[in-house]
């Protein structure tokens, strides 16, 4: 499991250089569902998140805080932004 699809792409390249078979010898999973993930060899399995939606939510929360609507101490708030697993050939 890699923290980004770019890092996972590097793992795929290193695995190939070491003659490791993905996913037989090594499973690789990325994060972010980058445009290139479906076009690597093997095609990269990844976690899809709505990055734009997360950005919009964060901007709304920040603007509300700046407008004084969020003057109370924020505390610990968890916001479920959801995700989906994109299963391809690498895992």
pLDDT digits (tens, 9 = 90+) for 63-75: 988 887 655 566 6
- For the entire predicted model, the pTM comes to 0.79
DSSP track, the chain: --SSHHHHHHHHHHHHHTTPPTTTT---EEES--GGGGGSSSPPEEEE--HHHHHHHHHHHHHHHHTTTT-S-----------EEE--TT-
pLDDT digits (tens, 9 = 90+) for 38-47: 999 999 999 9
């Amino acid at each position: 499991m890699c923290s980004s699809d770019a890092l996972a792409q590097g793992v795929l390249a290193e695995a190939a250089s070491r003659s490791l078979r993905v996913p037989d010898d090594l499973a690789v999973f990325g994060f972010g569902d980058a445009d290139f993930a479906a076009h690597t060899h093997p095609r990269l399995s990844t976690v899809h998140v709505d990055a734009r939606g997360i950005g919009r939510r964060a901007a709304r929360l920040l603007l509300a805080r700046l407008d004084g609507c969020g003057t109370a101490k924020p505390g610990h708030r968890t916001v479920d932004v959801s995700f989906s697993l994109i299963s391809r050939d690498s895992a």
